[in-house]
Structure 1
Amino acid sequence: MKKIIAERMDKLIPSGIRKVYEKAFAMERAGETVLHFESGRPDFDTPEYIKRAVIESVQEGDVFYTSNFGTNELREAIAEKLQRENNVAYDPSEVLVTVGLSEAVFDVLCTILNEGDEILIPDPVWMNYINVSRLLGAVPVSYRLTEENGFQANLEEIRRKVTAKTKALVIVTPNNPTGGVLSEQTLKGIADIAISNDIWVISDEIYERLIYDGEKHISIASLPGMKERTFTMNGFSKAYSMTGWRIGYVAAPKEMIAALNKIHQHNTICSPSFVQKASVIALRNETTEVADMVKEYQRRRDYAVKAINAIDGLSCLCPKGAFYIFINIKQLPMTSAEFAEYLLTIAKIACIPGDVFGAGGEGYLRMSFADSYENIVEGCRRLKKAVDSLSEDN
């Protein structure tokens, strides 16, 4: 029989996050109690006012296809949000509604990357950017985000790595997995590089509302000369705890939205109509729901960071955004994968090895604090006990 699976599929690396996730749930099915710090989803329920909106939408008959681009009402609400919160004046025609941020990434990369094109991608990073680029025959070129630099992009490194083949540059701020937030100075430097080299910027801003310590999120499209060369990508999963609703969007020049839609209309047709209706309500009727979640995340973060830094052999920077702590384990006699496996087996703690996010993540462990405060406290107790046991064994 001929080989059925296309050779391009060999370029895809299975999700290391899902590998941990599936093993943790298999352990639970076997009767063990696992603390879930591997997940990239909020542990809060979707706010009640949004759930009511989707129920009413279904009951009112919003159950059919919408425009491929998304409903006019939602595109208008997103444009209003981008003007109000991000200081970027988009017309609704410059917005495409997608089935989550994952589809937005796929659509954007499919639209702009030719085989052999180079794309600058941070390391460590959520691996979809690497995988989709490889699938398309493009060349992902990593630029490092280092703890020593506060997980800021090194502008000199980026300048060195731009070539005639560079088509685009990806930024993720706040960052998954580091929790770092790119500074205004860094963003201005990236903007200068993009403009002087005529390259696109793909700006992943899905964690923008999860910001701590008075830190400020800046959309790079708001900087002079950048709106016309930026794909601003966002969604509702993290801020509104709507991960299962699968709703995201891309904002870009109108001609690019039309090009993106060629992929989108053949891929998913449209986001569910009733979810789009509820997403309008999410944007326009929010009161303190997101702020309340952020306040609780910060309480958990503050406890975990203090507890982790008190454990001999571990250390971490205090994340300024998202809900991840990138724990430095370089003093331990284990790789990231080995330590993650050890914690899951011995301590029943599920975390993600840093190398899942690229070579720059080796020596780190991603711990999500999107779990209850009580579980964070218990998890840090188990973590200390597990590390202390390592020291005793050696």
Structure 2
Amino acid sequence: MEYKTAKRMESLPFSEIRAVMEKATKMQQAGENVIHLEIGRPDFDTPEKIKEAAYESLKAGHVFYTSNYGIPALRKEIAKWETEHHGVQYDADEVLVTVGVGEATYASMAAFLEDGDEVLVPNPVWLNYIHVPSSLGAVPVTYNLKEENNYQIDMEELASKITDRTKMIVIVNPSNPTGGVLSRETLEKLSQLAIKNDLLVVADEIYSQLVYDDTKHVSIASLPGMKERTITLGGFSKAYSMTGWRLGYMCAPRGIIAACVRVHQYTITCASSFVQEAAVNALRDCADDVEAMRQEYQRRKDYAVKALNEIDGISCNDPQGAFYIFVNVKSLGMSSMEVAEYFLEEAKVAMVPGSAFGSEGEGYLRLSYACSYEDLQEAIRRIKDAVEKLKK
């Protein structure tokens, strides 16, 4: 028997990122040597101290429900970390532990967006920020991030998009997919706009520890008048290489957290108890591990940016955060999806078409350098050969 899906599902397409990954994986299973540059997954193992803490928690029998909000020790450590690293004074009861930033995104929007409310969202962006509000009956309104502007926000354009239905602004800083980092000047102007129009800000800062070339990450909640209107999203997947552990968090004033926990308790209940205990150890003892990974990402980025810009026919800017390069392939004369398919089939290199992240991503490919240095070298050699073959 066939059942009709809910109408809201019409706005939820399957992820193009996962579609590329599935095709690349099938090719690999068929014996082809595919290099994966499509997925935003660190190639490092989770630091041993974190794994050991999870094991000790399991051995101790800590396998039961926790508070909906998360265990007190972790909430305290998150508040302390955010205060020390982002300059925002949080208390433990201003923290909600979530199952990854994906759940935090959903909870922050489901708690505040009504039917017809508008939310300003970057273009290009991780598409959860388009499809989650759409599924809730809200209206995502995009503002453009352009390569020629180093992926900073055009404040005049953003201001022009604000209406009496606008309720929320989303920023992803550093950016997925561009790797761009918003400057303090940009964030100060954005904060003035948010205050003037009484808007809630959702700030996805999952990549805040992965910045390069002496770039300073600024948390918008640290700016005057912004803590009270900002939901800061963070987590452990990227900097600590814990993607499969599924642990994130949000920091916000108590009233905002109280609203979000009502969504959280009816969808998730709580994050895994032993994972939460392991994350306490991550925040306390693993700064050196994070720095070692960051330095290796820096090395890969420096190599890849130089090597890609030496290939006639493609180019890229020098991203300052995350572990992505947004490669400009416009001169190849094909859509980003066609170029992605060409590189996968011809070079056996998997990358994501920029169109997967919105209309401003058309003409680009997202390359993830969260892979070994050797794989990155080989992948770019193959890309070079494939571009030269295409241009003959």
TM-score (norm 2): 0.99
Q: Which deviations, in whole Å up to 9, do the C-alpha atoms of 1:144-175 show, x marking residues without a partner? A: 00001000011111111111100000000100
| 1:134-153 deviation digits (Å, cap 9, x = unpaired) | 10111100000000100001
Residue 388 of structure 1 aligns with an amino acid whose one-letter code is E
Q: Structure 1, residues 277-336: CA drift from partner, whole Å, max 9, x if none?
A: 000010011241011101111111111111100011101001100000000011111110
C-alpha distance 65-370 of structure 1, shift in aligned 2 (>3 A) = same
Identity %: 56
Partner secondary structure for residue 180 of structure 2? coil
The SS at the match of 1:121 is strand
Q: Secondary structure at the match of 1:194?
A: helix
Counterparts in 2 of 1:1-394, with a 5 A limit?
3-392=3-392
**CA offset digits 1:104-160 (Å, max 9, x no partner):** 001011011101000000000000010011101111000000001000011111111
**Secondary structure at 1:112 match in 2:** coil
- 3-state DSSP class of the match of 1:201? strand
Q: Which SS does the other structure have where 2:171 is aligned?
A: strand
> Kindly tell me: are residues 239 and 2 of structure 1, through their superposed partners in 2, closer, same or farther at Cα, counting changes over 3 Å?
closer
Structure 1 residue 264: deviation in Å?
0.4
Structure 1 stretches (4+) deviating beyond 6 angstroms? none
Following the alignment from structure 2 to structure 1, what is the Cα–Cα distance between the partners of residues 149 and 280? 39
Q: Which amino acid aligns with 1:261?
A: V
**Which amino acid in the other structure matches residue 148 of structure 1?**
E
Cα distance in structure 2, aligned partners of 1:2 and 1:256: 40
1:287 to 1:3, Cα distance in 2 relative to 1, 3 A: closer
Alpha-carbon RMSD: 0.8
| CA distance in 2 between partners of 1:88 and 1:279 (Å) | 20
Unaligned ranges ≥5, structure 2? none
* Corresponding letter in the other structure for 1:96: L
- CA deviation digits over 1:13-66, x for unaligned, max 9? 210100001001011111111000001010000001111110001001110000
Structure 1 distance, partners of 2:82, 2:264, is 22
The AA in structure 2 aligned to 1:298 is Q
Whether the aligned pair in 1 keeps the contact of 2:46 and 2:242 (CA below 8 Å) is: yes
SS in 1 for 2:217: coil
How far does the alpha carbon of each residue in 1:73-94 deviate from its partner, in whole angstroms, 9 at most, with x for none?
1000000001100100111111
Which structure 1 residue ranges, 5 or more long, are not aligned? none
Question: How many angstroms apart in 1 are the aligned matches of 2:2 and 2:337?
Answer: 36
How far 1:350 moved relative to its partner?
0.2
DSSP-derived class of the 2:280 partner? helix
Distance in structure 1 (CA, Å) of the matches to 2:28 and 2:238: 25
C-alpha distance in structure 1 between counterparts of 2:86 and 2:8, whole Å: 38
Q: Distance in 2 between matches of 1:13 and 1:82?
A: 34
Distance 1:58 1:212 in 2: 37
**What SS is found at the alignment partner of 1:141?**
strand
C-alpha separation in 1, matches of 2:79 and 2:229: 17
Q: Secondary structure at the match of 1:331?
A: helix
Separation of aligned partners in 2, 1:184 and 1:262: 33
Q: Distance in 2 between matches of 1:176 and 1:151?
A: 11
- Give the Å deviation of 1:255: 1.1
CA distance in 1, matches of 2:116, 2:7: 17
Per-residue displacement from partner, 1:169-205 (whole Å, max 9, x unpaired)?
Answer: 0000100000000000000011000000000000000
Q: Contact (CA 8 Å) 2:119, 2:166: kept in 1 or not?
A: yes
SS in structure 2 at match of 1:170: strand
Q: Tell me the CA shift for residue 2 of structure 1.
A: 7.5
**Quick one: which amino acid aligns to residue 92 of structure 1?**
A
Whichever residue aligns with residue 379 of structure 1, its letter is: A
**How many Å separate the matches in 1 of 2:305 and 2:165?**
41
How many residues matched?
392
